[in-house]
Amino acid sequence: MNLLLIGLNHKTAPVEVRECLAPPPEELPAALRRIMALEGVREAMLVSTCNRVEVLAACEGDPQRCAEEISRWLCTGRGLAPEQVEPCLYHHQDREAVRHLFRVASSLDSLVVGEPQILGQIKQAFRAAAEAGATHTVLNRLLHKTFQVAKRVRSETDIGGAAVSISYAAVELARKIFDDLSGLTALLVGAGEMAELAAEHLLGHGVSRLLVANRTLERALELARGLGRGRGEAHPLEDLAELLPRADIVITSTGSPRPILGPETVRPALRARRGRPVFFIDIAVPRDVDPAVGQIDGCFLYDIDDLAQVVEANRAARRQAARQAEGIVAEEVVKFEQWLRSLEVVPTISALVHKAEDIRRAELARTLRQLGPLSPEQQTALDNLTRALVKKLLHDPIMFLKASAHDKSPETKRSHLALVRRIFRLGEDEPRTLAAPASRAAGRGKE
């Protein structure tokens, strides 16, 4: 059994190619069926996100032929010419396929290293493949190991503990000021992409309500609706002075050419708040908040340069954490590769054990007929004796096969498997001489 991983991502393909390859969620079961119908594919999973489309498959037969089939499937029927897709594809086999999957799940291959979303997306892809009946022994074991590796990376490194986007850094700073954001109200001044990202992070960290003030009310309404029922409230920018007293956190990101918040607006809001502090995060360029606001007691003001310094320091921390994570991934790849190699000898070990057990049962039955009536205790003692003998006799050949599983030379492994199967005549008809003594003994038992 060979593992193949073929796909493309944000590093190898532009968005116009990625979006053509990504199937809509409702078409995923049909896509999995088509992959499973490809020559040599025995198990499969399809990972499809905005940044990557990858096919993971366990294949039998010629891995090169199987890889060609998967690549051809990825390159056709997507509204693009195959020559537009083929140069974007990467191919990983066995150890490198496992390493790639572990790195992706651990967010070492993400657009933003350490972002947690990709692990959930892989779990969702695995769930869909399992529900479609496309995963069995190999991929089930591989994906559960993948989740363990990702969890180990998260728990043993700080790869996800430092904000590396401006919006996320703003929320992390707010957490340092307030410690716990649960139950707080945030005001977003401006409703662009930065505000939208900040809203997601704020809600994810427990903020209970978001006020959105924007020059265009329609855009504020659109953003507020996207936050979920009852969680967002849209207002025109003219309501800013009335909204400030309600806000514990204010994030500004408008395109105004001059400050829209100054001391004359903020001081009345602070008096109305009766001493409760306000955290201002100004991520606009030019700035939305007059620097003088930061001098007012009870106001904490950070601008985009402050956040950029936080982000850069955190990126350095994540790079260090990523180096630690790569070591964990390398270690776990070796462990899984050892298990994968062992699969090749499992059928031979199973055949050997089954043959020995068949012989043991037949010989035990013959002996019991010869001895005549025995007590249950005596029969159990004989059964235990024969089991122990078989177990001890098979121990060395089984250990020999297991050691062969880890041999790096495929030729050596195949020759060892062939040798054991030949010595014990596995998969062949039983030699006639095995039956003769039993027949004669049975005859003597009737005399």
At 171 the pLDDT is 78
Residue of 20, 50, 66, 299 marked catalytic? 50
* Number of domains composing the chain: 3
Boundary-marking domain end, from 156, 180, 203: 156
Boundary-marking domain end, from 288, 311, 334: 311
Which among 226, 45, 53, 50 is positioned nearest to 126, based on CA atoms? 45
Side-chain-facing half-sphere of 90: CA atoms under 13 Å: 14
At 421 the pLDDT is 86
Q: Are residues 148 and 7 in the same domain?
A: yes
At 436 the pLDDT is 36
Q: Are residues 126 and 178 in the same domain?
A: no
Q: What is the CATH number of the domain that holds 217?
A: 3.40.50.720
User: Which residues lie closer than 8 Å to 205 by C-beta, 6 or more apart?
Assistant: 171, 175, 181
Query: Distance between CA 341 and CA 407 in Å, rounded?
Result: 9
Pairing of β 278-282 and β 209-214:
unpaired
Q: Are residues 140 and 25 in the same domain?
A: yes
Q: Are residues 170 and 62 in the same domain?
A: no
Domain housing 32? 2-156
Mean pLDDT of the chain: 86
Q: Are residues 295 and 170 in the same domain?
A: yes
Query: Distance between CA 347 and CA 349 in Å, rounded?
Result: 6
Q: Residue 403 domain-assigned?
A: yes
Q: Are residues 149 and 179 in the same domain?
A: no
The answer to whether residue 116 scores a pLDDT higher than 90 is no
The answer to whether residue 435 scores a pLDDT higher than 60 is no
Q: Are residues 249 and 352 in the same domain?
A: no
Q: Residue 203 domain-assigned?
A: yes
Q: What is the CATH number of the domain that holds 44?
A: 3.30.460.30
Q: pLDDT category, 434, cuts 50, 70, 90?
A: very low
Q: Residue 414 domain-assigned?
A: yes
Q: Are residues 8 and 152 in the same domain?
A: yes
* Radius of gyration of the chain, Cα coordinates, nearest whole angstrom: 33
Please write the tens of the pLDDT for every residue from 246-296: 999 999 989 888 999 999 999 999 999 998 999 998 988 889 999 999 999
Q: pLDDT category, 161, cuts 50, 70, 90?
A: low
Q: Are residues 150 and 50 in the same domain?
A: yes
Residue 145: strand, helix, or coil: helix
Q: Residue 51 domain-assigned?
A: yes
Please write the tens of the pLDDT for every residue from 392-419: 999 998 888 888 777 667 778 778 888 8
At 428 the pLDDT is 56
Q: Are residues 95 and 34 in the same domain?
A: yes
Boundary-marking domain end, from 110, 135, 156: 156
Q: Which helix (H) or strand (E) holds 96?
A: helix 95-105
Query: Distance between CA 162 and CA 318 in Å, rounded?
Result: 7
Burial class (CB in 10 A: 0-12, 13-18, 19+), 379: middle
At 430 the pLDDT is 44
Q: Are residues 56 and 93 in the same domain?
A: yes
Q: Residue 318 domain-assigned?
A: no
First to last CA, the chain: 54
The answer to whether residue 299 scores a pLDDT higher than 90 is yes
Q: Are residues 150 and 185 in the same domain?
A: no
Q: Residue 331 domain-assigned?
A: no
Please write the tens of the pLDDT for every residue from 195-211: 887 888 888 888 988 99
At 444 the pLDDT is 37
**Is 88 among the residues known to form the active site?**
no
Sole residue written with tokens 């402050």 = 306
Please write the tens of the pLDDT for every residue from 323-340: 999 999 999 999 898 788
Q: Residue 422 domain-assigned?
A: yes
Higher pLDDT, 167 or 284: 284
Q: Residue 304 domain-assigned?
A: yes
